[in-house]
Amino acid sequence: MSAPPASEPTERSYLAYNVTTLFKRWGLEDPQQTALLGLPRREKKQLERFRKGAPLPEEPEILGRASALLAINQRLADRFPADDPRVYTWVVTPEEGLEGRRPLDVMVEDGIPGIRRVLEHLDEAPSLS
């Protein structure tokens, strides 16, 4: 998973704001958020700074994870009507195509490979639950 060319602090701030807003819409706890971004669990203060507009670190892995998570959200928005709650609840709903696991669990437990797997699943699955 390659990171976007987001080396400018304003671009990384925008990315931080969008991904933390997405986490809120998905209803995620801080430990899940830090895991998805690849941050140590104790970085709750850093999450709060991101929510307030601080830029994501200029680390390709973190930037790549954030971009991939936003891509997952975009694919969900493309799959479901705008007013369909599944746009935000799908990640916490067991999915048959992921062996009955919740996409969130796949991403948190498997890290980058899990995030890739969820993206691939969204790209390949004819329908979603």
Burial 23-35 (b: 16+ CB within 10 A, else e): beebebebebbbb
Residue 77 has pLDDT above 70, yes or no: yes
State which residues form the domain around 93: 9-124
CA 109 distance to own-chain centroid: 13
- End-to-end, the C-alpha distance of the chain in Å comes to 26
* Residue 34, domain member (yes or no): yes
Residue 56 has pLDDT above 50, yes or no: yes
* Residue 3, domain member (yes or no): no
* Residue 74, domain member (yes or no): yes
Q: What is the mean pLDDT of the chain?
A: 91
Cα–Cα distance for residue pair 75/77, rounded to 1 Å: 5
Share of the chain above pLDDT 70, in %: 94
| pTM score | 0.90
Confidence of residue 7 (pLDDT cuts 50, 70, 90): low
Confidence of residue 41 (pLDDT cuts 50, 70, 90): confident
User: DSSP assignment, residue 81?
Assistant: -
More confident residue, 96 or 3: 96
* Residue 129, domain member (yes or no): no
* Residue 2, domain member (yes or no): no
31-37 long-range contacts (CB < 8 A, ≥24 apart) are 32/104, 32/108, 35/108, 35/111, 36/65, 36/69, 36/107, 36/108, 36/115, 37/62, 37/65, 37/66
Residue 6 has pLDDT above 80, yes or no: no
Q: Looking at the 3D structure of the chain, how many domains does it have?
A: 1
Average pLDDT over residues 11-16: 94
